[in-house]
Amino acid sequence: MRFAFFPAVRDGFANLRRAPGRTLARWLAKTIVWFIAISLALVLLYKWVPVPITATMLLDDKVWENGLSKDWESLSNIDRNLVSAVIAGEDGKFCSHNGFDTEAIATAAARNLQGGRIRGGSTITQQTAKNVFLWQGGGYFRKGLEAWFAFLIEQVWGKRRIMEVYLNVAETGIGTYGAEAGAQRYFGHSAARLTRDEAARMAAVLPQPKKRAVIAPSGFTRRYGNTIAARMGAVRRDGLDTCVYE
């Protein structure tokens, strides 16, 4: 009995030492399973249901100061000029990539290594994933989550729904989100009838909607808007927006 007792005690202590590791592993496994299940459920839900609110809106100080202006509209009620404009300005390969523009990402990374202003290589798909499911700001953890959601919405939503959601949740001005609210704010009419110049100016401010002016733009914003307006013809001519309207 005496000799049998010590191995039992030894094995008991060994089990205690191993228990925290097993508990942590089980907790991590459960967390991953729950995250996958919840993210899939949200992506499936938003394939059909308008996105009611996002973390970006909730964390926007200007929304709390000035109120939130947003109006969900189906893509059929948003002028094709705006679709062409955001493709021309944000993601020329929207219809041909699988959610990630590897060439743009590599180019942005190379430029960032040289210093100066940080450039991104995000596609409209990645921006939509970030705007709907995540928060603004950098960090590898958030970028990893962004890649996961971008992959999911490419597989589940398809290009037309991605564009529809993007144009409804993108920040278009201070406290203003979506194409319809932006068009009403800046031009006093619906997003269903945007001219080429109006669409180009709206697209030009998307990267920095709090700092760039849609009405009477100047400097870089004006030049960038003119560039987008010129590119819109190529978008239509080369069928770079056809995936949205198939």
> pLDDT, tens digit, for every residue of 89-122?
999 999 999 999 888 777 766 666 665 554 557 9
Burial class (CB in 10 A: 0-12, 13-18, 19+), 93: middle
Shared-domain flag, residues 1 and 73? no
Residue predicted with more confidence, 5 or 61: 61
Q: In which domain, by residue range, is 215 found?
A: 52-245
Strands 171-173 and 176-177: antiparallel
Could you tell me if 33 and 61 lie in one domain? Answer: no
Q: How many domains does the chain have?
A: 2
Query: pTM for the whole thing?
Result: 0.86
78 and 132 co-located in one domain: yes
Residues 40 and 130 in one domain: no
78 and 28, same structural domain? no
The answer to whether residues 176 and 60 belong to one domain is yes
CA 2 to chain centre: 67
Domain boundary among 14, 30, 46: 46
Same domain, 23 and 75: no
3 and 101 fall within a common domain: no
DSSP sequence for 150-216: HHHHHHHT-HHHHHHHHHHHSEEETTEESHHHHHHHHHSS-GGG--HHHHHHHHHHTTSTTTS-SSS
Same domain for 186 and 204?
yes
| pLDDT band of 16, cuts 50, 70, 90 | very low
pLDDT in tens, 118-158: 455 799 999 999 999 999 887 889 999 999 999 999 999 99
- Claim to verify: residue 112 and residue 233 sit in the same structural domain: yes
Report the 10 Å Cβ neighbour count for 47: 13
CATH number of the domain enclosing 135: 1.10.3810.10
The tens digit of pLDDT for each residue in 50-70 reads 999 999 999 999 999 989 999
d(CA 198, CA 230): 13
The answer on 93 and 64 residing in a single domain is yes
| Same-domain pairing of 174 and 209 | yes
